[in-house]
Amino acid sequence: MRAAALTVALSLAVAAWASEGASPDDTARVNAWVDSVKQAAGLVRQLVAAGKQDLAVAKLGTIINDAGSMREALQAAADGGARGARSEELASATEFDTGAAFSVNTTFKPKRCSGQLASPGHRVRIHYVGKFVHDSKVFASSFHTGSVPYRMVLGDPSELEAWNVGIEGMCPNERRSIVSPWNMAYGAKGNAKVGVPPKADVKFFIELVSVSERPAPGFSHLAKSRSEDL
């Protein structure tokens, strides 16, 4: 009987889950739910014995649906705990502040620049790889998002200062490496969402994909009139 097997499996799962450090409140909530499932399973058994197979199947379907809902709730709680632990781990890290100085190095430049130079106020698309200075571990990359270039408006204060400064003047297909101290990158708090701890010095490898011909709406005040013979 599927209902009986389900209740046994649930009891074993709850025991294992509790032994791994689940909170008392969550354990009590799940135990209460398992008890209700056992009662429902008993009703299924009675319906089958009475020859009411259709009602038994319907009740069993309800039990299984409830099990799915409980699983999602527990998974959400587990994910939240994992994020909290990761945030604490990042907050305690100290080796990421290496004292690095800001620098920009051109690693490839086309012989002739075709198109608009990257200028404040213009939309740009870039490919990038971000690494920590202290161990060169990759923490972010546009290639991790299906090789879709990152879009930004150069000079937008919501973007990294290291990018706003380091990308300016690039032409399409040019590549640069940027070393950035933490105060020009993710700041004193870091960014747990992308796995960057507080005060982390970072380096970026940037390839400029394209630049808009005109400034982005609302950013024309940042635009500069600039020409350069490449």
| For the chain, domain boundaries | 2-92, 103-222
Lowest-confidence region among 17-31, 40-54, 100-114: 17-31
**Listed residue (103, 104, 108, 105) closest to 207, CA to CA:** 108
The correct answer on CATH 3.40.640.10 for the domain covering 103-222 is no
Distant-in-sequence, close-in-space partners of 118: CB < 8 Å, separation ≥ 6? 124, 154, 167, 168, 169, 170, 171, 208, 211
Q: Which long-range contacts (CB under 8 A, 24 or more apart) does 28-36 make?
A: 30/70, 30/74, 33/66, 33/70, 34/7, 34/10
- Separation of alpha carbons 229 and 108, rounded Å: 17
- Indicate if the pLDDT at residue 121 is higher than 90: yes
- pLDDT-derived band at 222 (thresholds 50, 70, 90) equals confident
Which pLDDT does position 34 carry in this prediction? Answer: 67
The two structure tokens encoding residue 53: 């197979």
- Structural Rg of the chain based on CA atoms: 28
- Separation of alpha carbons 43 and 37, rounded Å: 10
- Separation of alpha carbons 109 and 42, rounded Å: 74
Lowest-confidence region among 10-19, 36-45, 114-123, 197-206: 10-19
The predicted-structure confidence for 128-176, as pLDDT tens digits, reads as follows: 999 999 999 999 998 776 678 999 999 999 999 999 999 999 999 999 9
